[in-house]
Amino acid sequence: MLIPLWAWVAFVLFILFCLALDLGILHKKTETPTLKSALGWTAVWATLSLLFSAVVFRYMGHEHGMNYLAGYLVEMSLSLDNIFVIAVIFQYFKVPPENQHRLLFYGILGAQVLRGVMIGAGTALVRRFDWTMYLFGALLLYTAWKMSTAGEEEVHPEHNPVLKLAKRFFPVTHEYHGDAFTVFAHGRTFLTPMALALVVVETSDVIFAVDSIPAIFGITTEPFIVFTSNIFAILGLRSLFFALAWMLRRFRYLKPAVIGVLGFVGVKMLLSHHVHVPVEVSLGVIAGALALGVGVSLLLTRNEPEGGPPAS
């Protein structure tokens, strides 16, 4: 389906307007997001995502609308691991709570650009080479297997190669200077820990995108649906982090559900040229698996103390 250029431009401008409104007006002051505000913004982004799905249903048809919803759910479920990694990064760099919102803002802004490039490249590959679907399907099955056998992996930001390069070629200060990413002193420009944390957040998102983008290609190869569902999932990630970080450990049984979703999409991609799986079935399997994972997690951990947020 050919999407007119004006639709792409309108969507990008809308997202930029929302981001400018968010940081420039609604969160202009540097402060620590409260649980109430985080839940409120999570609801706002989720509502916008659902309203956009109504637009897709209206102008692109039922199948594309269902694909959008399925893709959005997959991307949101894969974002939960990203939330844990972000929490570890904040701990490692000791990012002050009042600076975390601004850091995530720029991290997600960069992630949108990087994912846009990766989606464009992935779409070109899938449409030019049919065998790419088999490669992506095998990658998702390998990822599911790796997640099921890895246990509790530790994250080590200090081993990030891009971080090592940044420290090698740029002078670095160990003190925070408000929410500034650079500071000028002694005739030189220094990177602050805010900049280093941003580097690690961006490179971590690229690693996650290697799994999440092939996953949504298993649902649809329509670039507009892939891009918009990815962007809305990423936009909700920032507020979702502050809403869920304090109780993230209670979602321990969501991991098997995510593994199941990755496995299902991987098999679907491997059989894509031989068996047609209705989009309603795909959406039902994905939504059902995630709902079961969340429900079991909350039920079996209901008596456990939630503790403080990992990034506090």
**pLDDT tens, 252-271?**
777 788 888 888 888 888 88
Phi, then psi, of 95 in degrees rounded to 5: -70, 125
Taking the C-alpha atoms of residue 88 and residue 181, their distance in angstroms, rounded to an integer, is 19
Taking the C-alpha atoms of residue 267 and residue 214, their distance in angstroms, rounded to an integer, is 12
Residues 64-101 as b or e (16 or more Cβ within 10 Å = b): bbbbbbbbbbbbbbbbbbbbbbbbbbbebbebbeebbb
Amino acid at 105: F
Which of the pair, 6 or 302, is modelled with greater confidence?
A: 6
Taking the C-alpha atoms of residue 253 and residue 256, their distance in angstroms, rounded to an integer, is 6
pTM: 0.77
pLDDT-based confidence at residue 308 (cuts at 50, 70, 90): very low
pLDDT at 24: 61
Which of the pair, 150 or 215, is modelled with greater confidence?
A: 215
Residues 206-222, mean pLDDT to the nearest whole number: 80
The residues pairing with 188 across neighbouring beta strands, listed in sequence order, are 185
**pLDDT tens, 80-139?**
767 777 777 888 888 888 888 788 888 878 887 888 888 888 888 887 887 888 888 888
**pLDDT tens, 49-89?**
999 999 999 999 999 999 999 889 888 877 776 777 777 78
Taking the C-alpha atoms of residue 219 and residue 193, their distance in angstroms, rounded to an integer, is 39
Percent of the chain with pLDDT over 70: 85
As a whole number, the mean pLDDT across the chain is: 80
Which of the pair, 306 or 48, is modelled with greater confidence?
A: 48
pLDDT at 175: 84
pLDDT-based confidence at residue 246 (cuts at 50, 70, 90): low
Q: Which two tokens mark 12?
A: 């990008």
pLDDT at 67: 92
Residues 147-158, mean pLDDT to the nearest whole number: 65
Taking the C-alpha atoms of residue 295 and residue 298, their distance in angstroms, rounded to an integer, is 5
Which residue ranges make up each domain of the chain? 35-152+209-300
